[in-house]
Amino acid sequence: MGKKILFLLLGLVLLSSFPLVQSYGGGGSRPSPQSDLAIVDLTTSSSLHAGANIYLSTTIENIGDKATPTDEMGTVTWYIDDEEFFEETVNLYVYPKDQNGNTPRFYAWWNNAFIGKHKIRVELKAPNLYEETTSNNEFETTFTITQSGEVDIKEIYLKELSSRSWGLYAVIDSEVDPRKITYKITQLDRGDIIYDRVGSTDVNIRGGGKVFDFNEREGAYLLTELPKSEIISDSSLTLTVGSGTALDTTNVMLEYLDQVIVHPFCDDTDGIDPFTKGSSGSIEKDTQVINENNLTDTCNGDILAEYYCVGKKMEHALIQCPLGCSSGACDPVTLDTTDESQSIIEIETAAECSGCLIDSSSCLPTGTQVTIFEEGYYCSVDKTLDSQKTLESFCQSDFECSTNLCIDGSCVSSGLWQRFVKLFSRWF
């Protein structure tokens, strides 16, 4: 009897020296108490539209009895339609949820999602996961990417606003009512984030949340101004516009700044002003290569080539300068205050002047005599202001002569003519 009691006590001591083993899902087993991690959900962005960047998120909980080791590391791997597209190594120090432990979330982005039904799966691998409990190691769901029909980016292009900046324009068709659109712009440099003003992983959103009221169905709108220093060659720029759940996204590769789309335009610094040197630039049709007609008012002898804009098209006129042309403008004309200057005609454009231009809005009729710096001039049939001719000079009209008298092709003195008339009258 004493021996039986001794053997029974010895058996109890040996049994107490081994941990209890409990059955665990899938026919496996694990020691208890122990930590155990499980993926409990998988969520996506609310706006699942083609071309958008889909936001993916998953939550991990510790369903075991104690915390994982502080230095425990694991891998989180994401799959789209069974193809791996993102994996990261993460720290998995997690307290059990029933002990007020944290429930870490992990994230991934699927850029430029395409239309259709897709399967997304996330997997977790870590030392304290049990291969037999596969339901805890992964999570899978399906979602459908659709094409928004309410917002449509018809075109996106850059136009130079100044020597330092480009304007980002977009032609957008929106059916939402009221037609108000928010936009955001993301720029990446060869896949690397070059804007990093929000956080360590989030790209900067230029103009995010800004609202535009689309009063026209088809029109180009200046969304934002982009400094040239921030636009990098070989980079891409993504524009997303939307209203509520309606989204549309377009991606533009800025391989070379001289190959962006530019619409027709014409700019002129001086209009039609022959007495001011100006420059004009124009593009007369949509183009992939900026090939501007940059022209400056120029002189060819006394003839001025004056360039100006008519709408979005550049025109030019050849203008005879009355006192000569230099440095891309007609030489200025300053009339002395004389009775002859009362013949000046007011004009709207230089093309209306059939005589001699005095300034951009004044014209002298042909044959008008004026005084400039106490010297006599006349407006010739060639639209120039010529010095009045002296006695016996060749002439064709009276106004060419300082005496205002031209007889038989020669300038004569008015006094001599009076004597001749008086003598001639005596004969008859």
The domain that holds 185 is classified in CATH as 2.60.40
Is the model more confident about 185 or about 18?
Answer: 185
376 and 314 in one domain? yes
Q: 291 and 249, same structural domain?
A: no
Determine the structural domain holding residue 42 and report its residue range: 20-145
* Same domain as 98, residue 198: no
In a shared domain, residues 48 and 157: no
Domain closes at, from 97, 126, 145: 145
The structural domain count of the chain equals: 3
Q: pLDDT by residue (tens digit) across 31-81?
A: 445 777 888 888 887 667 665 677 788 888 888 778 888 888 889 999 999
Q: pLDDT: is 205 or 190 the higher one? A: 190
Q: Is 100 within the bounds of a domain?
A: yes
Q: What is the pLDDT of residue 348?
A: 78
Q: Which residue has the higher pLDDT, 399 or 134?
A: 399
Same domain, yes or no: 345 and 237: no
pLDDT at 218: 44
Query: Per-residue confidence at 122, pLDDT binned at 50, 70, 90?
Result: very high
Contact assessment for residue 60 and residue 72, using Cβ atoms and an 8 Å cutoff: no
Tell me what the mean pLDDT of segment 246-273 comes to: 55
Q: Residues 82, 159: one domain?
A: no
- Determine what percent of the chain is predicted with pLDDT higher than 90: 3
pTM (predicted TM-score): 0.34
Q: Is residue 423 part of a domain?
A: no
Q: How far, in whole angstroms, is CA 355 from its chain's centroid?
A: 48
Residue 428 lies in a domain: no
248 plus 287 within the same structural domain: no
Residues 24 and 61 in one domain: yes
pLDDT digits (tens, 9 = 90+) for 337-395: 554 445 778 877 777 788 888 877 788 888 888 887 778 888 888 888 888 888 889 99
> Which pLDDT score, from 0 to 100, does residue 79 have?
93
320 and 215 within one domain: no
Residue 282, pLDDT score: 55
124 and 198 fall within a common domain? no
Structural domain contains residue 408: no
